[in-house]
Amino acid sequence: MFAQVKIFVGASQSYAANDPNVRMFNDNKVAKIFSASSFRRRAGVEGLRELLQLLPLYCDDMLSNAEFMEETRHADLVVGELYYLCGSLVADKLSLPLVMISAASLASPTSIALGLPSPPSYVPQWDVALSDEFNFVDRVQNVLKRMILYMIYIYDLCPMYAEIKAKHNITPNKTIQDTLSRADLIIGQMDFMLEPPRPLLPTWMLCLRPERLPPPEQIAGHSSCGSIPSQSAKPLPNELDQFMQKAGNEGVILVAFGSNPRGIEEASLQMMAAAFSKLPQKDLRFAESVNLETTSAEEFVSLIHKVLTQSSYRESAARISNTIKRLPRTPVKEAADWVEYTQAQGGLQYLRPRGLDLPFYQLYLLDILFVAFVILVVGLFDIRFLLKAILKCLLGSSNKEKVN
């Protein structure tokens, strides 16, 4: 077991200050940007690039903090967040095993850094609202989004982290791609009941991946661990419990605003308020994705009624809930065992696929395709030359016969 867990959080995230395991560091660079007045919530590629540009600044603040570097110098293991790739730089600088944890979708753009296979022929890419049943147009859209994400990673994300890597003299003999891909274990909180099935690497462990409900005794030792709450469920506080009881037959629906509610535009808040006023429930949450920049109050109400009235949503939620409850081990215990195993082994390099270290042209067999293309061209040229020679001989013989 670990003697102590230390969680490093920027000082602007004051909600975490009371946790005894939390250590705060100065994050002035990000705090000035990540505010209601200067940082607005944007959708799509624009919002992604804006977010990814903030994270390296946060990383620089952390690595520049002398107290942080001193406290981590004698650590046994680094646990990072998948969206926040600074954990890779910290682990490389201190030569420590690295475990990445992600509560986001496996379609996260930063998963490119860790080499997660994501074939655009059947795996929906980030921010693409598709199932895994693509027509031709869907595949074109998916391929284009994959290309955009890859270019953002190579031309936006890597240079920013490379600059920080050089500034703090972190493993100068390694490329930034080598550093960012060095995770020993990635714990992802998702489920193939919620996302289309996709290929995974040995270094990835899913925290919610049931096998279509076999008996519990048959899934002992399963590599999934269920959802990862910070603690076991507790009874509701009296005030909230009374609120729930007063909801009556209409029930209660919750609404989630994401990780940056301050960034929601005023017009979007007014639209939601107008929609909520037309519904009998006291509080709301969506089970359908909503684009706040384009959705009207009427469309919002229509989506909510759709979730309320169609039985498929309730049936799916019940099925997933039952699946999670039948997992034989608690999520926290399963994840903790994997983290401790990684630390005890000094890393899990034997799980690292060779493909993460191959150059681009070898990984996608471009050299073999090039050689095959050259052979094909040379072969066609030889065949053409041979046919011309044969034709010339035949025509020459025919002309001689006519002269004779």
Q: How distant is the alpha carbon of residue 341 from its chain centre?
A: 23
Distance, C-alpha 312 to centroid of its chain: 27
Average the pLDDT over 40-44 and give the result: 57
Highest-confidence segment of 24-28, 178-182, 364-368 = 178-182
Indicate if the pLDDT at residue 292 is higher than 90.
no
C-alpha count within 13 angstroms, C-beta hemisphere, residue 192: 14
Higher per-residue pLDDT: 259 or 143: 143
pLDDT band at 290 (very low <50, low <70, confident <90, very high): low
Q: In terms of pLDDT, which residue wins out, 109 or 208?
A: 109
Per-residue pLDDT averaged across 24-32, rounded?
A: 78
What is the rounded radius of gyration, in angstroms, for the C-alpha atoms of the chain?
Answer: 28
Query: In the predicted model, is pLDDT for residue 271 greater than 60?
Result: yes
Predicted pLDDT at 353: 72
Examine the pLDDT at 291 and tell me if it is beyond 70.
Answer: no
Which tens digits make up the pLDDT trace of 219-251? Answer: 233 334 444 555 556 788 888 888 777 777 767
Residue 180's pLDDT is 92
Lowest mean pLDDT, pick from 36-50, 351-365, 366-380: 36-50
Task: Say if residues 226 and 208 touch (Cβ distance below 8 Å).
Answer: yes
Better-scored residue on pLDDT, 139 or 172: 172
What's the pLDDT score for residue 222? 32
**% residues pLDDT > 90 (the chain):** 12
Read off the pLDDT of residues 88-110 as tens digits, 9 standing for 90 and up.
Answer: 999 999 999 999 988 777 777 78
- For residue 256, give the H/E element and its range: none
The band of 170, judged by pLDDT with boundaries at 50, 70 and 90, is very high
Question: Is pLDDT at 370 greater than 60 in this prediction?
Answer: yes
Q: Please give, one letter per residue, the 3-state secondary structure of 153-219.
A: HHHHHHHHHHHHHHHCCCCCCCCHHHHHCCCCEEEECCCCCCCCCCCCCCCEEECCCCCCCCCHHHC
Residue 90, pLDDT score: 93
- Apex CA 78: angle with CA 31 and CA 153, to 5°? 60
pLDDT > 70? residue 191: no
Reported pTM: 0.66
Tell which residue, 330, 79, 337, 75, has the closest CA to residue 186. Answer: 79
Tokens encoding 22: 């939390």
